């Protein structure tokens, strides 16, 4: 029987995510310098939108060509239009401006929607963040019942990068099922489970150490909707609890459920240094 934290080397790296660790000492010397970058003027319009947290520079083209952006109350259709500090810029009739880059890591609680607002009045991640979440947008999604790590930022370029499939951002989930998971199905998760979009393959899957066979750790790098839940459902299991414990190398260590923190400079640099994976021939 293999366990998530067994002696095999390929599982050792994940040990920290399922076994309590000693609390790390805060690094008082590290400042959030990258979060206070001053905009340079004049600025290209597509960059202005990205630095305002509206979207990435790549996606700015769509909004600009659709006539959703105005400069000094005039619709502008060129991405390279130069914007000066004194200019008034609006997106979809709402005034915007470049802001310092902010990166927040949230340990999302249950029964919380991963959107900036909800027409049905349900609790959103913005309600958890309060004023700290102004002008921030979640990177990717966690469904309402799923708990765990969620990154929020106004850095549109970074958000686009982390969401793009070519970067294969790694995520590790702790799964609790309604019945014991067989060894055969543990193996099947890594071999692939057929879903509507295609074959969903876990990078790694194993039992969580010192827990029953109801508890499985699953590492994936793609972001299909509710993919982990559907993988287990396809194998005949109902997911009782689903918790994301690692996202892009960031962990929940010392971050209680429903709490959040700003990323350190070293963590920001780590996210920005991700590079696209080469396609296999």
Please state, in angstroms and rounded to a whole number, the distance separating the CA atoms of residues 145 and 125. 13
More confident residue, 55 or 104: 104
pLDDT band at 37 (very low <50, low <70, confident <90, very high): low
Per-residue pLDDT at 38 = 60
Average pLDDT of span 20-24: 39
State both tokens at 27: 């690094």
**Does the pLDDT value for residue 10 go beyond 70?**
no
Per-residue pLDDT at 97 = 85
At 104 the three-state DSSP class reads strand
Please state, in angstroms and rounded to a whole number, the distance separating the CA atoms of residues 142 and 147. 7
Stretch (H or E) spanning 57: helix 57-65
Of 143, 155, 178, 185, which is the active-site residue? 143
Beta-carbon count within 10 A of 175 CB = 23
In the residue annotation, 143 being an active-site residue is answered as: yes
Please state, in angstroms and rounded to a whole number, the distance separating the CA atoms of residues 269 and 249. 12
- Judged by average pLDDT, the poorest of 43-47, 127-131, 132-136, 194-198 is 132-136
Per-residue pLDDT at 278 = 64
pLDDT digits (tens, 9 = 90+) for 141-187: 999 999 999 999 988 889 888 988 889 999 999 999 999 999 999 99
Phi, psi dihedrals of residue 120, rounded to the nearest 5°: -90, 0
DSSP state of 166: G
More confident residue, 210 or 99: 210
pTM attached to this predicted model: 0.74
All domains in the chain, ordered by first residue: 38-96 (3.10.290.10), 103-165+252-272 (3.30.70.580), 170-247 (3.30.2350.10)
Percent of the chain with pLDDT over 70: 85
> Radius of gyration over alpha carbons of the chain, in Å?
21
- In the chain, alpha helices (H): 9-12, 45-51, 57-65, 125-129, 156-163, 183-191, 227-234, 265-272
Please answer whether residues 141 and 114 qualify as being in contact, where contact means their C-beta atoms are separated by less than 8 angstroms. Answer: yes
**Tokens 């790390």 correspond to what residue?**
24
Please answer whether residues 71 and 84 qualify as being in contact, where contact means their C-beta atoms are separated by less than 8 angstroms. Answer: no
Please state, in angstroms and rounded to a whole number, the distance separating the CA atoms of residues 162 and 43. 24
Distance from the first to the final alpha carbon of the chain:
34
């Amino acid at each position: 029987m293999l366990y998530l934290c067994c002696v095999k080397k390929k599982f050792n790296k994940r040990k920290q995510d399922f076994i309590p660790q000693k609390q790390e000492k805060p690094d008082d010397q590290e400042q959030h310098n990258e979060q206070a970058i001053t905009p340079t003027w004049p600025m290209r319009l597509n960059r202005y939108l990205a630095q305002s947290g509206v979207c990435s520079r790549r996606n700015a083209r769509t909004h600009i060509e659709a006539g959703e952006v105005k400069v000094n109350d005039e619709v502008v259709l060129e991405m390279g239009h130069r914007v000066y500090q004194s200019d008034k810029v609006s997106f979809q009739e709402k005034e915007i401006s470049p802001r310092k880059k902010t990166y927040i890591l949230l340990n999302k609680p249950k029964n919380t929607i991963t959107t900036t607002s909800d027409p049905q009045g349900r609790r959103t991640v913005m309600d958890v963040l309060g004023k700290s979440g102004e002008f921030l947008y979640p990177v990717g999604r966690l469904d309402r019942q799923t708990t765990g790590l969620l990154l929020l930022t106004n850095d549109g370029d970074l958000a686009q990068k982390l969401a793009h499939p070519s970067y294969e951002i790694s995520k590790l989930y702790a799964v609790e099922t309604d019945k014991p998971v067989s060894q055969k199905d543990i193996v099947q998760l890594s071999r692939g489970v057929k879903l509507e979009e295609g074959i969903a393959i876990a990078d790694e899957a194993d039992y969580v150490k010192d827990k029953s066979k109801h508890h499985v750790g699953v590492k994936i790098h793609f972001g299909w909707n509710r993919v982990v839940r559907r993988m287990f459902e396809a194998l005949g299991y109902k997911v009782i609890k689903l918790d994301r414990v690692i996202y892009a190398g960031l962990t929940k260590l010392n971050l209680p459920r429903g709490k959040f923190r700003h990323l350190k400079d070293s963590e920001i640099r780590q996210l920005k240094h991700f590079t696209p994976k080469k396609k296999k021939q």
